[in-house]
Chain A
């Protein structure tokens, strides 16, 4: 007669199930991107996905089927402008899983969001591939860059942002699709609602209160203090629902997650307002990720011990 250690039945939930839910929630964004850009977007997604997944397969075969590399690949692809070359997607996917995840020890061990890390590194190393590949015209709009750089030429409007007729990365062209996917994840409780809510609320607040910075050449739209533009434009929604809400790289406690989302929003809005860097969402995600160990330490160890009172939902 052995004492069992813990329950013998299980809820049946798996990591893979959570990844599948994330992928399903990304489907509207992917469909919107392919409808908008056609084969170019599909190719980038496939390349990023292949890069991410094959890298994982080579490095750790056991983890290759839990779906996390697929999620990473897709999110990275959504951060690419549709004008990006296919090899950028492939390298980005490889870098995301290889450096962003496995270099830290694999699933659950990474400090930074793999897709955001890959994007920021590649933007630093080969900015040309992101910004200067010009003159691809689709639907009569030059989609030469991520949203910010050149769209000073055509001031973004809310209807334009919502309908996807504004240049941007392939994940940014359909904010409503991203929002729908994100709300699905929130309602299924796959992600913690506190992170996107706090993040979006803080972004809107900062857009209203931050004083405009010195005008920087080619840096028009973010100097507009319109909170709606900041919410639906750039990588805000992707960061809110997909990058910041990745539990691996978010703080553990509900309180910590709120602090984390505020830090991310602050970082993003400071970048947008006061630097020539166009979007800042990915960079803000990395900055917030870097603060997670400290936030965890403050909320878990130095803070008051968890309440002895059981919650009311029993």
Chain B
């Protein structure tokens, strides 16, 4: 210690009294998650191990617990996914198989009961975030036996990537949501489906057929074949509600289209008005011929005051060149509408002479998109549906 330092410390002591120095030099340093260690040593002195040497173990799973008659119960969980390589008197060693893997994945806490999941999803206001906006708790409460929970990450609408990004960035959390849903309905199987798929393959019935080979009956629901389908973000919201106590107050949306200056995926509070997004994402009002909430196939025209809802997956601002030219020409019966229809409906024929099969139409718009005569087929199909419905 130089003499100058000695002068300073003496002056400080004179001013503030004798103290242990604070030394808070890292006060401004952000928390950094360290590269995952290859092995962890979990001290388990006085605990009963519940794992064996050589056993594969997932992060977050119980490895040791107090004997039952102990007064103060302790639990130790695996902080790494890997293999148990040593179980000693006072410690357990786990060696990780994937060094990059985060030390802790989000498993479903074993102590959360199905009723608690259902109650939480009701009180947290959870809904189907793929666009259906059907209350999640109703789906989770139905008595029909559910075998499989499908988490739908196949946003097949053009432009949409928000669910994909959620799965890239928060897959573990979405996984946890799926496991919570499985527990709530007693399903034994769960899967996240995020294949790249052509429109309209992300539609729930098509996805079930495509993934599980099951056909949902005509007027029925997925639960009739023992399947529960939920959107990726609905699963994430279920995780946040149950594990973090966070009700549904925001969601991730895709903002894209040629009139958008800063396209991307944004987490926005529900109720955000499009006017605000216009500023944040630099949507050029002069270039935008049409602003939509939702994708360009099934979306809704919107304006500045339109809010983002729980079911809004995207805000798309299209320029005049991107809009389809729908000046209709005569139908030449080319049959392409039938070729692209997910239900093989003879669309051009049905709009001329309605038949009850038209009620199968899900109005995905694939026929209208492809029609070389640019017929307004969805409008015509709705008219045909009205005619058929009037027969009964």
A residues contacting B by CB (< 8 A) are: 1-15, 17-18, 63, 66, 68, 106-109, 192, 247-248, 250, 252-254, 296, 300-301, 305-311, 314
B21 to nearest A CB, angstroms?
Answer: 63
Taking CB atoms, residues of chain B closer than 8 Å to A306 are 343-346, 357, 360
With most chain B CB atoms within 10 A of its CB, the pick from A2, A6, A248, A296 is A6
Taking CB atoms, residues of chain B closer than 8 Å to A109 are 330
Q: From the candidates A17, A106, A300, name the one contacting B349 in the complex (CB within 8 A).
A: A300
Whole-angstrom distance between the alpha carbons of A63 and B353 in the complex? 25
B332 A300 Cβ-Cβ under 8 A? no
Asked, given contacts A252-B333, A300-B349, whether A14 binds B374 with beta carbons under 8 Å apart, the answer is yes
B residues contacting A by CB (< 8 A) are: 158, 197-198, 200-201, 205-206, 209-210, 215, 218, 290, 292, 296-303, 306, 318, 322-326, 329-336, 338, 342-346, 348-349, 353, 355-357, 360, 363, 365, 368-374, 376-379, 382
The residue in chain B whose Cβ has the minimal distance to the Cβ of A17 is B372
Taking CB atoms, residues of chain B closer than 8 Å to A308 are 215, 218, 343, 360
Taking CB atoms, residues of chain B closer than 8 Å to A5 are 376, 378-379, 382
Whole-angstrom distance between the alpha carbons of A254 and B200 in the complex? 22
B297 A250 Cβ-Cβ under 8 A? no
A311 B332 Cβ-Cβ under 8 A? no
* 30 pairs from A and B in contact (CB 8 Å cutoff): A1-B302, A1-B303, A3-B301, A5-B376, A6-B378, A7-B297, A7-B368, A8-B290, A8-B299, A8-B324, A9-B296, A9-B369, A10-B326, A11-B370, A13-B372, A15-B329, A18-B332, A108-B332, A108-B333, A108-B373, A247-B334, A248-B333, A250-B333, A252-B338, A253-B335, A296-B349, A300-B346, A300-B355, A305-B355, A310-B205
B373 to nearest A CB, angstroms?
Answer: 5
Taking CB atoms, residues of chain A closer than 8 Å to B346 are 252-253, 300, 306
Q: From the candidates B306, B329, B369, B376, name the one contacting A14 in the complex (CB within 8 A).
A: B329
Q: What 5 pairs between A and B have smallest CB-CB spacing? A: A10-B324, A6-B378, A108-B330, A7-B365, A13-B372
A252 B374 Cβ-Cβ under 8 A? no
B292 A8 Cβ-Cβ under 8 A? yes
B332 A252 Cβ-Cβ under 8 A? no
With most chain B CB atoms within 10 A of its CB, the pick from A8, A307, A311 is A8
B377 A6 Cβ-Cβ under 8 A? yes
The residue in chain A whose Cβ has the minimal distance to the Cβ of B369 is A7
Taking CB atoms, residues of chain A closer than 8 Å to B373 are 14-15, 108
The residue in chain A whose Cβ has the minimal distance to the Cβ of B337 is A252
Q: From the candidates B296, B300, B372, B376, name the one contacting A18 in the complex (CB within 8 A).
A: B372
- Describe A's contact surface by its main secondary structure: loop
Q: From the candidates A66, A106, A314, name the one contacting B206 in the complex (CB within 8 A).
A: A314
Taking CB atoms, residues of chain A closer than 8 Å to B334 are 18, 247
Whole-angstrom distance between the alpha carbons of A3 and B298 in the complex? 9
Taking CB atoms, residues of chain A closer than 8 Å to B298 are 7
Whole-angstrom distance between the alpha carbons of A308 and B379 in the complex? 22
Whole-angstrom distance between the alpha carbons of A107 and B365 in the complex? 24
Whole-angstrom distance between the alpha carbons of A1 and B309 in the complex? 14
A9 B158 Cβ-Cβ under 8 A? yes
B306 A1 Cβ-Cβ under 8 A? yes
Taking CB atoms, residues of chain A closer than 8 Å to B318 are 8-9
With most chain B CB atoms within 10 A of its CB, the pick from A12, A192, A308 is A308
B343 A310 Cβ-Cβ under 8 A? yes
Q: From the candidates A7, A108, A247, name the one contacting B324 in the complex (CB within 8 A).
A: A7
Contacts A8-B323, A15-B329, A306-B343 known; list 15 others, CB within 8 Å. Answer: A1-B302, A5-B378, A8-B297, A13-B336, A13-B371, A192-B335, A247-B334, A252-B338, A252-B348, A300-B349, A305-B356, A306-B360, A308-B218, A308-B360, A314-B342
Q: From the candidates B200, B336, B368, name the one contacting A6 in the complex (CB within 8 A).
A: B368
Taking CB atoms, residues of chain A closer than 8 Å to B329 are 14-15, 66, 107
Taking CB atoms, residues of chain A closer than 8 Å to B323 are 8-9
A20 to nearest B CB, angstroms?
Answer: 11
Taking CB atoms, residues of chain B closer than 8 Å to A300 are 346, 349, 355
Taking CB atoms, residues of chain A closer than 8 Å to B205 are 310
With most chain B CB atoms within 10 A of its CB, the pick from A7, A12, A66 is A7
Whole-angstrom distance between the alpha carbons of A18 and B306 in the complex? 40
A83 to nearest B CB, angstroms?
Answer: 34
Whole-angstrom distance between the alpha carbons of A253 and B329 in the complex? 21
Whole-angstrom distance between the alpha carbons of A4 and B379 in the complex? 10
The residue in chain B whose Cβ has the minimal distance to the Cβ of A7 is B365
A172 to nearest B CB, angstroms?
Answer: 26
A253 B198 Cβ-Cβ under 8 A? no
Taking CB atoms, residues of chain B closer than 8 Å to A305 are 355-357
B334 to nearest A CB, angstroms?
Answer: 4
The residue in chain A whose Cβ has the minimal distance to the Cβ of B210 is A314
B324 A9 Cβ-Cβ under 8 A? yes
Whole-angstrom distance between the alpha carbons of A80 and B74 in the complex? 97
Taking CB atoms, residues of chain B closer than 8 Å to A247 are 332-335
The residue in chain B whose Cβ has the minimal distance to the Cβ of A305 is B357
Whole-angstrom distance between the alpha carbons of A68 and B363 in the complex? 30
The residue in chain A whose Cβ has the minimal distance to the Cβ of B366 is A7
Taking CB atoms, residues of chain A closer than 8 Å to B363 are 6
A290 to nearest B CB, angstroms?
Answer: 16
The residue in chain B whose Cβ has the minimal distance to the Cβ of A13 is B372
A253 to nearest B CB, angstroms?
Answer: 6
B271 to nearest A CB, angstroms?
Answer: 15
B68 to nearest A CB, angstroms?
Answer: 54
Taking CB atoms, residues of chain A closer than 8 Å to B378 are 5-7
Taking CB atoms, residues of chain A closer than 8 Å to B206 are 310, 314
The residue in chain A whose Cβ has the minimal distance to the Cβ of B297 is A7
Taking CB atoms, residues of chain A closer than 8 Å to B324 are 7-10, 12
Taking CB atoms, residues of chain A closer than 8 Å to B330 are 15, 63, 106-109
Whole-angstrom distance between the alpha carbons of A65 and B86 in the complex? 82
B329 to nearest A CB, angstroms?
Answer: 5
A307 B344 Cβ-Cβ under 8 A? yes
Taking CB atoms, residues of chain B closer than 8 Å to A1 are 300-303, 306
